[in-house]
Amino acid sequence: MTSDAVFINEVGPRDGLQSQKVLVSTEDKLALIQALVDAGLRSIEAASFVSPKAVPQMADADALFARLPDRDRVAYSALVPNRRGLDRALAAGVPEIAVVLSATETMNLRNINLSLAQTEAVCVETVQAALAAGVRAKAYVAVAFTCPFEGAVDPAVVRRLSRLMREAGAEEIVIADTIGAAHPREVGALMKALAADLGAEQLSAHFHDTRGFALANIWACVEAGVRRFDSSLGGLGGCPFAPGAAGNVATEDVVLMLEQCGLRTGIDIPALRRAIALAERLVGHPLGGRTARWLQSEDARAQQREAATNTVAAAPAPVGA
């Protein structure tokens, strides 16, 4: 029987912040991560160890990892693109790394300046070196449905890359719709095929919400037995290397939908909304997923209910009641 527990991996501090114009300070990132932990997030991608010239927003990954809160109860991970990134991650005490293979030639060239074959070799080597150093490893297959440069992606390529990374020792394969171009039917078909290849417990999915299809895509994954999802608070995100990519699916949208469907995420939405309000202050613009307006009116209704209760409590007790 498939479990009703769902694991949310919050990627706002990495995938979210990497595309922002502002450089958020280490101190502020730590406050944001603390707010996410307070909301119940127990798996957080905190940073990437990439070239600071390519992504200046992540230049403080080493300093950040040295100070992360609640390391005993939160599974923190970091993305690493190459051996240099792994060495930095190991020095910073990162407990889990993630490598990224894009499913097309052009996307790998644009993202990390390597061909697909070179990327495969680097990712296999990085995963094996991480495991040898006692660090857990997972692998992303990016642009798994549509590539902004090459168009539709052959599912057979994604299955081959996923198998390759599992054989290299990656514990989890994260299928990423990097630009938010996938639709639920193809997502369901691919995830079912991958679940047959590797087992659904080994799979996770990462959607961007460019066209508002992310929740439908997540539901297609749930139906294929997948119980792990990436998301970003308030839908914060985008990808500087993938034109057209909007933000990640919003964590609050995923939590609201899954909880209403009877699945359990362990995440507290009011506390998550406090983290989103903090993120808005840090990046200097409004955030919020598809449910933002509904959640705001829920807040207003809760305040009205509270005000009504206070009024009743303050009124003199009716005689004889």
Catalytic positions = 239
Q: Which two tokens stand for residue 44?
A: 């957080």
Contact 204, 9 (CB under 8 A): yes
- Among ligand COA, Zn ion, none, partner that 214 touches (CB below 5 to 8 angstroms by kind): none
User: Which residue in the set 13, 85, 188, 247 belongs to the binding site for ligand COA (CB under 6 A)?
Assistant: 85
According to DSSP, the residues that pair with 100 across neighbouring strands are: 140
Strands 151-152 and 146-147: antiparallel
**Binds 84: which of Zn ion, ligand COA, none (CB < 5-8 Å by kind):** ligand COA
The nearer residue to ligand COA, 113 or 115, going by C-beta atoms, is 113
Give me the helix-helix angle, 269-283 and 251-260, nearest 10°. 170
Query: Which of ligand COA, Zn ion, none lies near 113, with the C-beta cut-off 5 to 8 A by kind?
Result: ligand COA
Q: Which does 107 bind (CB under 5 to 8 A by kind): Zn ion, ligand COA, none?
A: none
Minimum separation from the CB atom of position 148 to Zn ion (A)? 13
Structure tokens at 26: 């280490």
Least separation in angstroms between residue 23's CB and ligand COA is 15
Q: Are 270 and 257 in contact (CB under 8 A)?
A: no
Compute the distance between CA of residue 316 and CA of residue 297 in angstroms, rounded to an integer: 31
CB of 114 to ligand COA, least distance (A): 7
Which one among 36, 55, 158, 165 touches ligand COA, defined by CB under 6 A?
A: 55
Residue list 195-254, contact with ligand COA (CB under 6 A):
241
Handedness of CA 301, 214, 227, 102 (dihedral sign): negative
48 binds ligand COA (CB under 6 A): yes
Q: If binding is defined by CB under 6 A, does position 111 make contact with ligand COA?
A: yes
**113 binds ligand COA, rule: CB under 6 A:** yes
Distances 68 to 19, 24, 63, 71, 94 between C-alpha atoms, Å: 21, 15, 9, 7, 10
Question: Smallest distance from the beta carbon of 11 to ligand COA, in angstroms?
Answer: 10
Beta-bridged to residue 232, according to DSSP, are 250
Could you say whether residue 51 binds ligand COA (CB under 6 A)?
Answer: yes
84 forms part of the interface with ligand COA (CB under 6 A): yes
Smaller CB separation from ligand COA, 53 or 293: 53
Least distance in Å: CB of 142 to ligand COA? 6
∠ at Cα 67 (61, 70), nearest 5°? 120
Segment contacting ligand COA by CB under 6 A, of 53-61, 201-209, 248-256, 258-266? 53-61
Backbone angles phi, psi at 5, to 5 degrees: -85, 135
Q: Where are the alpha helices (DSSP H) in the chain?
A: 26-38, 61-66, 83-91, 105-112, 116-132, 155-168, 184-198, 214-223, 251-260, 269-283, 292-314
Of 50, 168, 214, 258, which one interacts with ligand COA (CB under 6 A)? 50
Task: Summarize as ranges the residues that interact with Zn ion (CB under 5 A).
Answer: 15
Tell me how far, at minimum, the Cβ of 48 lies from ligand COA, in Å. 5
Q: What mask of x and - would describe binding to ligand COA in positions 62 to 81, judged by CB under 6 A? A: -----------------x-x
Q: How far apart are the C-alpha atoms of 24 and 64, rounded to whole Å?
A: 12
**Which residues, in sequence order, are bridge partners of residue 45?**
77
- What residues make contact with ligand COA under the rule CB under 6 A? 48-51, 53-55, 79, 81-82, 84-85, 88, 100, 111-113, 241
